[in-house]
Amino acid sequence: MIDLELTDAQQNVRSMLNWFAKTEMRPIALEADRTGVVPLPFLKKTMDLGLAGGAMGDMQAPEEGKPEKKGPKGANRIAVIGSEELAWGDAALILTFPGPGLGGPPVTYTGTPEQKERAFKVFREDRENPHWGAYALTEPGAGSDVANISTTCRKDGDHYILNGRKCYITNGARADWNVVFATLDKTQGRAAHRAFLVFKDAPGFSVGKIEDKLGLRASETAELVLEDCRVHKNDLLGGEERYTSASKEGFRTAMKTFDNTRPLVAAMAVGIARAAYEICRDWVKENYDLKRPIPRYHLIAEKLANMEREIHAARLLCWKAAWMGDLDIPNSREASVSKSYSAEVGQRVTTQAIEIMGYEGTYHHRMVEKLFRDVKVFDIFEGTGQIQRIVISRRILQGLTR
């Protein structure tokens, strides 16, 4: 049975990250949103506190003959708790935290010991300067439809030649390496998918445009270009022996990443919703006496109650998906449920906050306007809301419980 009570360690993490969000993130959030620049001292503070973005384990390749070390007990629960608290501070700044980012999980789960060593070495050995990893899956014609990727790869001796374009890649331009997904033969569908560890100095790899976005403006979102990009066969994620002619290992690598990261993204949407709700609630307290028998005041009070209720429900869905992940229980359905619902809650709550506050809610310094812009993408990346509902419905119609 799921335990919803936080341990002392989890509560301590929550308190510490709330303090960091309040004292280090909120003060620079609006300026970073306006300029798109994140101060280097802030990035170094995240490194000093160990707030690296993405899964790295202990950033050590396991010793030969010894089992690989696993993360702390309840690591997924801690991760969703942390995601909510930090997103309450500023969601865009979370995405700038140095570390492997979304590229971390596929390397951790499917990479060979040598690949993990190569990928994570820079984070372990250079603690003075920020470094990033990234996850390059999305393409102009293949976002939510992962099976439709068109970036190609072909074997050429000891190398693979990659050609294609990736778009909307978080930290892709400044990353030391990207996990890049490509296909050997598009007609073979998912069985032909391959994942590669592509370092920034790979011949034929370059950065295209940096996106000018509606929200999360402090976060870098890049286009990546692969033109006859040569990648050694040793950088085929998991090694060639992991793939067979009938294998869907590349596609499974992408999906496994989503099962583990969707609850984190959902928790970030919860954090944004909570921030908007609290700002709105405090503003109402300062400007209205809701105890007075005025119909409009009653409607405001009812909206606030509904906002809080939905935030609590979304949080519990995230916690359940994380709890299942901690117990290695398949959680694809629960991950999609938490992601789709939390994104919807985030949009509703930020919209209602502006409706209640009126023109005050549109002022940039109030931050609600920024939260309204930031939360929209949470219904898009990591699989759109429509895709999440397809995943959920398929599980229901197939009679699957997970």
Catalytic residue ranges: 382
Nearest-CA neighbor of 45 among 162, 118, 169, 130?
Answer: 130
User: CB burial class (10 A; 0-12, 13-18, 19+) of residue 21?
Assistant: buried
Nearest-CA neighbor of 110 among 194, 232, 189?
Answer: 194
Q: Which residues pair with 152 in a beta bridge?
A: 163, 183
